[in-house]
Amino acid sequence: MILWIIFAVMTAVAVLAVLWPLGSRTTLGKTLAGGSDRLVYLDQLQEVDRDRTAGLIGEAEAESARVEISRRLLVAADVEAKASLGPVAQTVWHRRAAAMAVVVIVPAIALGFYLKLGSPTVPDQSAFARDNAQPSDQSVASLVSQVEAHLARDPNDGKGWDLLAPVYLRMGRFDDAVVARRKAIALNGDSAERDSGLGEALVAAANGVVTDEAKLVFLRAVAADQNEPKARYFLGLADEQDGNRGAAAAKWRALLDSAPPDAQWTDFVRSALARVTADASPANGPSAGDVAAAGTMTDAQRTDMIRGMVQRLADRLRTDGSDVEGWLRLVRSYAVLGDRDKAKDAANEARRALSDRPDQIKRIDDLVKDLGLAG
C-alpha cells in the first residue's frame, strides 16, 4: 500500500511540473504584448504633450501630430487584433490539449502497459513472507504462477504444458507433473522425450517404484528412440525392483557403453550399476558367477536359484529389519514369483520392523497397493 502511495505522489509531482508553465498567465501575457506597435504610438502621444507644455511646438502643430499618431495607433491595434486572435486561440487550445494528455492519456497508457506486461492478478505478500522467502523460490513461484495463469486462459497451449511439467517435478509436485505431461502428450503428440518424462513423473508419484504403467511408457520411449537414456535407466531400475539384478546390470552397462563423452548422468548410472553388482555377501543378491551360471540353467533350475536368493534376503531382513529397500525388494520378489501370501507376510513383517518410521511404512503400503496385494 505504501508503495502505491509513493507512486501516486511521484506522479502528481511530475504532472504539476509539466502543467505549471502551461497555465502561467505571465507567459500568456507576454505572448499577447510582445512585438506590439501600440506601445510605441502611446509613447509618441505622451512625447507630443511634453513638447507642447515645454513650448517647443505650437498648439496647431501639436494637434496635427496627435491626429496622425492616433490614426496610426488605431490601424496598428486593428492589425494586431486580427493577427493575434488565431495564434492566441491556437496556443490556448494546445496548452489545454497538453494538459489533458498529461492528466489523462499518459496515466492511461501506463496502466495499459502494466496490465499487459505486469502481474496485477498475482496476490500481494506480507513483508514477513517477502523477507523470509528464498530468492530462487520467489522467482520460480512467480514464473509458475504466470504460466499457470496463461494455461488457465489457454489450456490447449501444448508448449506451456511442456514447459511446466519438469518444473513441477523439481518442485516436488509429482501429481501435477503427471497431469502436465499427459496434457503435453495429448496436445503435442508422443515423443521419446515426452514419454520418458511422463514415466519419470509416474515413478516419482509412486515413491520411486517403477509401476506397470511407467514401464510401458518407458518401453514406448525406447521404441521411439533406442538411445533415450532416461527411459533405459528406469527400465533397468524396474528389473532391479523385480529382483532381476542381472538384467538391470546388463541394461546399465549397455547404457554406459553408448553414453556420450560429456554425459552428466554417467556417474549416477555407475553408482546404480555398482549397487546391483556388489558381491559383499550372498544375501545381497546374485554374484557375477551366479548371473553367468543362470544362462546355462533350465527354467526350473533358474527358478530354484531365484527362490534361494529371495530366501537369503528374507533371512537377512529378519536379522536386521532396518533396510527398507530390502523389504521393498523382498515384497516385489515374492509377487513376481507368484507367492502372494508370502508377499503380504513380508509386508506385515516390514511394518513391524519399521514401526518407528512412518514415512518408510508408507512406502511399503504404497507398494502393496501398486502390486494389488491390499485386502
- Concatenated DSSP letters of 6-71: HHHHHHHHHHHHHHHHHT-HHHHHHHHHTT-SHHHHHHHHHHHHHHHHTTSS-HHHHHHHHHHHHH
Query: Same structural domain for residues 44 and 174?
Result: no
Amino acid sitting at position 365: D
Contact 325, 245 (CB under 8 A): no
Query: Same structural domain for residues 275 and 288?
Result: no
Query: Same structural domain for residues 247 and 319?
Result: no
CA distances (Å), origin 239, targets 74, 162, 300: 112, 29, 20
Q: Quick one: CA torsion of 17, 21, 24, 29, rounded to 10 degrees?
A: 170
Residue pLDDT, tens place only, 337-367: 778 888 889 999 999 999 888 888 898 888 8
Question: Does some domain include residue 265?
Answer: yes
Short-list 40, 363, 55, CA closest to 209: 363
Question: Does some domain include residue 174?
Answer: yes
CATH at residue 265:
1.25.40.10
CA distances (Å), origin 90, targets 20, 28, 85, 95: 19, 12, 9, 9
CA distances (Å), origin 235, targets 47, 209, 239, 253: 114, 11, 6, 13
Which one is predicted more confidently, 115 or 52? 52
- Boundary (domain end) residue, out of 279, 303, 326: 279
Q: Which of 115-124, 135-144, 322-331 has the lowest mean pLDDT?
A: 115-124
Contact 51, 45 (CB under 8 A): no
Mean pLDDT of 238-266: 89
Distance CA 249, CA 269 (A): 10
Query: Same structural domain for residues 196 and 273?
Result: yes
Query: Same structural domain for residues 64 and 22?
Result: yes
Distance CA 236, CA 244 (A): 9
Question: Does some domain include residue 1?
Answer: no
Question: Does some domain include residue 308?
Answer: yes
Which one is predicted more confidently, 90 or 246? 246
Mean pLDDT of all residues belonging to the chain? 74
Amino acid sitting at position 110: A
pLDDT in the model for residue 51: 74
Query: Same structural domain for residues 259 and 297?
Result: no
Residue pLDDT, tens place only, 200-232: 999 988 888 898 899 999 999 999 999 999 999
- Boundary (domain end) residue, out of 258, 279, 300: 279
Q: pTM for the complete prediction?
A: 0.42
Question: Does some domain include residue 52?
Answer: yes
Query: Which residue in this structure is represented by grid cell 505549471?
Result: 20
Distance CA 185, CA 30 (A): 74
Distance CA 60, CA 57 (A): 8
Number of domains in the chain: 3
Question: Does some domain include residue 7?
Answer: no
Q: For residue 180, what is its C-alpha cell?
A: 502436465
Query: Same structural domain for residues 219 and 270?
Result: yes
Query: Same structural domain for residues 269 and 289?
Result: no
Query: Same structural domain for residues 273 and 141?
Result: yes
Query: Same structural domain for residues 95 and 45?
Result: yes
Element (H, E) at 126: none
Query: Same structural domain for residues 164 and 70?
Result: no
CATH at residue 322:
1.25.40
Question: Does some domain include residue 88?
Answer: yes
At residue 324, does pLDDT exceed 90? no
At residue 129, does pLDDT exceed 60? no
Q: How many helices (H) and strands (E) does the chain have?
A: 19, 0
Please classify residue 366 by burial: count the beta carbons closer than 10 Å to its beta carbon, then call 0-12 exposed, 13-18 middle and 19+ buried.
middle
Query: Same structural domain for residues 236 and 355?
Result: no
Q: For residue 253, what is its C-alpha cell?
A: 552397462
Contact 201, 224 (CB under 8 A): no
Question: Does some domain include residue 253?
Answer: yes
Distance CA 279, CA 312 (A): 14
Short-list 139, 181, 140, 178, CA closest to 161: 181
Q: What is the radius of gyration, based on Cα positions, of the chain?
A: 44
Q: Return all residues near 284 (Cβ < 8 A) that are at least 6 apart.
A: 278
Distance CA 36, CA 14 (A): 35
Q: Return all residues near 41 (Cβ < 8 A) that are at least 6 apart.
A: 69, 70, 72, 73, 76
Range of the structural domain that residue 207 is part of: 137-279
